[in-house]
A and B are shown apart, each in its own frame.
Chain A
Amino acid sequence: MPKLRVDGKEIETKQGTTLLQGCLDNDIYIPNLCFLESMEDPSASCRMCFVEIEGEKQPITSCTVNVKDDMVVKTDTPAVRQLQRTALRLLLSVHHVDCKHCPANKKCELQRIAKFLKVGLKPKGLERYLQETEIDRNHPFINHYPNRCVLCGKCVHICRRQHGQSVWTFAQRGFDTVISAYGEAGASSLTCGKCDACVKICPVGALTFKDVQEDG
């Protein structure tokens, strides 16, 4: 089993796992939003999980490197923190922060990261850009809240893994990118009634069952 040195501490990890997973397994927290262990090819889209590795010139996303024996890693350098804080601020600038009315309140990954990085949930200095649609009700059982979604892609991944195909997909592009179940209303009623994988995996409160909460 590979032995690594992370923040001055010796750790042992599984063979062939990602650095991010190896650290998490050893109770070393690295902020992350878009990674799941079952992903073959992590999209590394949230830009949260940066670390510095000895021998590498620049900070690197820990979900895209595999552990190696004798790796020396730092998870809390100034450069790493700056990248993470910027990524978080950008996410929050397109986020409708209203935790009181959000089912994810207190178990939300975004709240956790903000606390960890000591960034307020309403940081100043960036213009706020919200989607027009507050609630997308197209799906027969599940409501989607684009302004809470961090576009991590976990719902798409988990649905595909469970059912071979995903009801959810990324649609549009750039600032307008959203998660959508377009046209799957009929098909999804077959599986979605019995499955809650996407609602459970969502790190924020962007997917909710219709009967649980309709407001907010």
Chain B
Amino acid sequence: MSNFLTTSIGRKFLMSITGLFLMMFIIVHLGINMLLIFDDSGDLFNQGAHFMATNPAIKIMEPVLALGFLVHIIWSLVVTIQNMKARPIGYKQLNNSKSSTWASRNMFILGSLIFVFLVMHIIQFFWKIKITGDPLLAHVMVGGEEMENTYALVAGLFKESLIYSLIYVVGGVLLGLHLAHGFWSAFQTIGFANTIWLKRLQFVGTIFAIIIAIGFSVIPLYFQIKF
């Protein structure tokens, strides 16, 4: 068992498990974020955010999520470097668009761009909410309970800045592209596929990727257009 995680399949297994875990997180994340555009008073989103911030189960999941990201990112580097070493001399002429999708060939580039986005995203929201605080976060009363006005912080950014709104749209699209390949790939890697399921997973993966890309893009666009 000792060297399992350094074998080719072991490395991929770790990518897959962390990838599947991150996808579960991203579904919950999108679900909560959707509250932003269904209640302009912000109460619904504030309640959602408050629940996520105070729920003990979520508190336990937070470090696990951080670990998931870390392992996924570090192992993506290991996998990519190992795979590059397997072809020291490249081809002069490549015609690979016929045989594979662009996203499948550029998972590391897509992932790296998502990483850049992630750092910016954490500084803008997570950091302010958890560590430094922000005047916009001044407590409000929702349904008789006092809580941070997370809505003001998030909606404020999207209403004011066209640039940041567009960056968030790009972020959503990048994640969608990453998952267009990543979704079915994760199942293929853990051995959950055969000729029939491969097609089903690829189909579901495409739908899933589109929902993620459109879901996250629609939020900043909503604030830009409506306000």
B is bound to A: no
Residues of A within 8 A of B (CB): none
**B→A interface (CB under 8 Å):** none
